[in-house]
Amino acid sequence: MLRPVTIFLLTIMTVTLWAQQSAPAAQNTCDSLSGAITANRKSGHVDALPGLIEQVRDSRSGCPERTILCLGRSVALAYVAKAYDLAEAGKSADEIHAVIDQARKFSSPWALSALEGDLQFDRATSGHKEAYAKAASSYEAALNDLHEPRICAAYDEPADPPAEQIAHIVKRASEAKLLSGTFELARTRDGECGGVFLTRIRDFQPKSTPLPIEFDFDSATFTDKGKQALAALSECVGSEKFASIKLSGHTDMKGDDAYNLSLSARRLDAVKAFLTSSGYKGRIELAPMGKREPFQLDDPGQHSQTEIDQLNRRVELREASK
């Protein structure tokens, strides 16, 4: 009769041998699945991808965590390509959104979020004003993703977008936040200030950050949305430990220049007082602009005069140094 210790050792040896034999097989499975996903993505066979990624996510595939992440992004990007094909074919927004919703089951690469931002922005400018908040959220998700290290280049991840495209996403995000009925601070994966508050996205550095720090009519009293945006500014300049910042204040085009210049100065004083009372210790330079620098619109015809006035009324974080 075998002793207990002997049985235990035999069991360990059996398990070890099985693991040694299984590891190459699992790797082969992961490699074959990866190859199948790449082949089907390139050939446009999108319908085959959900089943393949489900196998990748199965623990028996032997795929490491990064591979699972990157293959998920690869599948999502295949759906992005399909969504663009539908748009070019003149398909409805509902059909395109259905493809985007399917893509989000696998991952949310920046190209997907930027596309969703464009769709929501177009919806907002066509009269569904509540979509501005959704557009801002999607654009900022795209910026946060671009801010992360690029780790999936080996899985047919597209090259970084040119600076002009990143600048367009930043501007659209700011525009949507200015026109949204609410303000929400976008955060990175690590919980830091993200979205429009990012000081660098890949090789692109925004020159300024327009913020919807809004006020009651003809006063320096903050609206509820203005308070939310100001609290976010306070948190972000504080967390970055900026030694100095420069803020510019802007009004709409109504009224004479001298009055608007005075109004923007009073409003900036209120912003400075809030930041100081909230604990910011750095130097704050104020630049009241009145109506001299209206918001630069790519397509003024997209917006009503009311929206253009709302875009013009803003505070911009222009400079920040450590």
Q: Measure CA 182 to chain center.
A: 17
Residue 112's pLDDT is what? 97
Place of tokens 């913020």: 211
Place of tokens 């303000």: 183
Residue 240's pLDDT is what? 87
Sheet containing 314-321: which strands, arranged edge to edge?
209-211, 314-321, 244-250, 283-290
Tokens describing residue 236: 């972000």
Torsion of CA 322, 231, 233, 160, to 10 degrees: 110
| pLDDT tens per residue, range 251-302 | 999 999 999 999 999 999 999 999 999 999 999 999 999 999 999 998 999 9
- Residue 110 reports pLDDT greater than 90: yes
Residue 28's pLDDT is what? 67
Q: Evaluate whether 262 touches 310 at the Cβ level (below 8 Å).
A: no
- Residue 210 reports pLDDT greater than 60: yes
Mean pLDDT value of segment 84-110: 95
- CB under 8 Å to 34, separation ≥6 — which residues? 56, 63, 67, 71, 155
Q: What angle do CA 156, 162, 167 make, to 5 degrees?
A: 130
Burial class (CB in 10 A: 0-12, 13-18, 19+), 145: buried
Residue 138's pLDDT is what? 98
- What's the CA gap between 290 and 288, in Å, rounded? 6
Mean pLDDT value of segment 195-219: 96
Burial class (CB in 10 A: 0-12, 13-18, 19+), 109: buried
- Residue 4 reports pLDDT greater than 70: no
pTM value is: 0.89
Tokens describing residue 94: 């509902």
